[in-house]
Amino acid sequence: MDNQSLFFHANCPSCGAEVGVHSATSLTAVCQYCHSVLLIQNQKLISSHRSSAVVDDLSPLQIGTSGVWNKKPFVLIGRIQVNYDAGVWNEWHALFADGSSGWLSESGDRFVFTLEQIGQEIQLDTLQCGYRQPTFRGKNWVISDVRLIKAGNYVGEGELPTDLPMQQQVHSIDLRCGKYFMTVENANTKGKQKIFIGEGVSLESLKLQHIRTEDQIRAQSGRIKGSVQTGSCPSCGGSIQWVSALTNHIICQQCNSTVSLSQDKLQLLQSKKNRDQLTQNLTIKPGRQAWIDGHDWLVLGAVVIKEIPPEDALKKSNLPITPYTQDEIDEEDFTSVWTEYLLYSPKKGFLWLIEQEDNHWSLASTLDIWPKIDFPGIITPAGYNDKDLHCLYDYGGQVLYAAGAFYWQVKADDINYYRDFGTHKHKLSTTLNPQEQSWSVISEVPASAVATWFYKDRKTVIRSNPMASVFADNIAQEHLGITAKDFRNKKLLRKWWRQSSEYYLSTSKLWMFVFLFLNVPIFGLACINDNSNENDFIYFVTVCFSYFLAKFLLGEKYLGKFKLFLVRTKLFPYYCLISVMILTTFHWKIYKAIDYSGSSSYHHSNSRWHK
């Protein structure tokens, strides 16, 4: 922006500095020198006797950043920074070339462009996630986020088309419908309601110019977005790390204290006495680094979650959802524990790596574009109950503890309800609690791929031999490329179902079970025969030899790259089947070679191969 684009300019009544106004619709301006909030009236600046200074969160955006949205050029001329109980987000005021304005919302690495809908109102049935909402402008909307912003939690800079709320609290409700996004402020208040409608965007799609460079960020704040900072926990004094400008809350790994970041200063929020929870060993520690698809990913934090019955999650969360399984629930079936690792890349954003029991791993990505919902249900994607797309299962999750850094506040005992659709290979999953709903894509990945991603980090040990990096990157690329629309593609769903079957056929444990199932009966036949001790010893040695030979031929620990070749060429199931047949035949021949035919308790005359 330059002086030729100014609507008018005047001196700040507080400090005397020149303040330029670029939009005729601006009602408020914040002096960039003394941070005084100034009211714009009749091309004059009037002091409101209030000050407002935003926290330098190292956003790549700044006042003066320009771009294009929906073929309309715009420039950012102001910002509102909103603080709430679990984090912070930015609302950038965008001035279009035709004089109209919009809002570019920035929360973490998620961006939404919206326009205010003047003169329109909506009456929501409730201010809670989990309930169906009335149709608005021909679309069926679902509440995705509910926040109560307390008075005084708004600060700003630059020019704004509205005054900063100072004396009243604001209900901010976000709703989703596919790619569309709507925010309603004060949905339950007549006369003060505001509606903003738009869509999720990426910074690349906006063709931005004049964003902050790394040198500018370094000069203004001394820290680069995404750099690791180190400090001491104010509760126990232990060393903790966080990522500058991305995280607002940290959970100390030593004492489980919840710590708040305020301009990179540590402030204790809560300290728990149950420190023994943290004795559980995390496979991947916060601060570790992975290399996925050619990009560096930093492990920000880890959340350990215990599975609970879905009925319990719905009851405790007071959600009006009917569980998928109507049968009587046995709580002993819900005893698993899983860990979700939050990964961050400055160029790619956020990614979840999920570790389940028995060394099973998955990747998960939050969807910006939601699936089409099959109303009246709010957690049922269109195409549900089709033979290719159906509900796999539902379950609840309760946070046991968390360690590391997050861009929102994670608390122990937080409860979510989950429902998964699709295939075991790739799942379309929704997460729901009274304040928030989200949709994600979850893809199963082999442990060998995770071992490859953390191969350079010598302090992280994954119980598997790493696969070739090109294959591990292909797995990540496939996951990152999946959208909600793909779960409406019947051809793709059938392919994923086949891959799910192939995945299980490519596990060494399955084929070891087949080998034992076929050979244990032979060992039983030998045990019930009355034979000499010498024959028993020979057969015992044979059994041990065949067992360890089977582990060598079928186990991924010994096959290494040979198994990767077999899996890639889809020959591994055939290789295992032939190996099991050869070993079982060998076992049977040894059994026949030892003279059991004279046994008084058993006579065997059938020489067919035992199955």
Q: Which residue has the tokens 């969807």?
A: 367
CA distance 460 to 290: 10
Looking at per-residue pLDDT, the higher value among 39 and 205 belongs to 205
Q: How many C-beta atoms lie closer than 10 Å to residue 206's C-beta?
A: 20
3-state secondary structure 467-487: CCHHHHHHHHHHHHCCCHHHH
* Residue 436 near residue 427 (C-beta atoms within 8 A): no
Confidence of residue 403 (pLDDT cuts 50, 70, 90): confident
Q: Which residue has the tokens 């000499």?
A: 532
Looking at per-residue pLDDT, the higher value among 121 and 253 belongs to 121
H or E element in which residue 243 lies: strand 239-243
Which residues have C-beta within 8 Å of that of residue 556, sequence separation ≥ 6? 448, 464, 465, 508, 563
> What mean pLDDT is predicted for residues 142-166?
79
Q: Is the pLDDT of residue 308 over 70?
A: yes
Query: What's the mean per-residue pLDDT of the chain?
Result: 77
Q: Angle between the 572-593 and 490-505 helix axes, to the nearest 10 degrees?
A: 30
Which residues have C-beta within 8 Å of that of residue 50, sequence separation ≥ 6? 36, 37, 164, 166
Confidence of residue 235 (pLDDT cuts 50, 70, 90): low
- The sign one gets for the Cα dihedral 147, 153, 157, 160 is positive
Q: How many C-beta atoms lie closer than 10 Å to residue 482's C-beta?
A: 20
CA distance 63 to 58: 13
Whole-number percent of the chain with pLDDT over 90: 23
Cα within 13 Å of Cα(590), Cβ side? 21
- CA neighbor of 83 nearest in space, from 501, 414, 408: 408
- Residue 547's alpha-carbon distances to 50, 133, 555, in angstroms, are 79, 61, 11
- Residue 99's alpha-carbon distances to 64, 78, 137, 161, 540, in angstroms, are 15, 15, 25, 12, 88
Pick the range with the lowest mean pLDDT from 2-6, 345-349, 486-490: 2-6
pLDDT at residue 417, as a whole number: 95
- pLDDT (tens digit, 9 = 90+) per residue, 415-472? 999 999 999 899 999 999 988 899 999 999 999 999 999 999 888 889 888 999 999 9
- CA neighbor of 464 nearest in space, from 510, 508, 514, 513: 508
- CA neighbor of 421 nearest in space, from 373, 384, 468: 384
pLDDT at residue 107, as a whole number: 79
> What mean pLDDT is predicted for residues 37-45?
60
Q: Is the pLDDT of residue 577 over 70?
A: yes
pLDDT at residue 28, as a whole number: 63
- pLDDT (tens digit, 9 = 90+) per residue, 468-493? 999 999 999 999 999 999 998 989 98
CA distance 185 to 119: 13
CA distance 103 to 245: 21
Q: Is the pLDDT of residue 298 over 60?
A: yes
- Residue 331's alpha-carbon distances to 277, 309, 334, 396, 420, in angstroms, are 22, 6, 5, 11, 19
> What mean pLDDT is predicted for residues 118-129?
80
- pLDDT (tens digit, 9 = 90+) per residue, 162-206? 777 666 678 888 998 888 999 998 866 666 788 999 998 888 889
Q: How many C-beta atoms lie closer than 10 Å to residue 411's C-beta?
A: 14
Confidence of residue 9 (pLDDT cuts 50, 70, 90): low
pLDDT at residue 328, as a whole number: 54
pLDDT at residue 330, as a whole number: 55
The SS3 assignment for 525 reads helix
* Residue 417 near residue 435 (C-beta atoms within 8 A): no
Is the link from the previous residue into 376 a cis peptide, with omega within 30 of 0? yes
Kindly report the length of the chain: 611
Q: How many C-beta atoms lie closer than 10 Å to residue 320's C-beta?
A: 11
Q: Which residue has the tokens 């490329």?
A: 481
> What mean pLDDT is predicted for residues 578-592?
83
- The sign one gets for the Cα dihedral 198, 199, 203, 206 is negative
Confidence of residue 130 (pLDDT cuts 50, 70, 90): confident
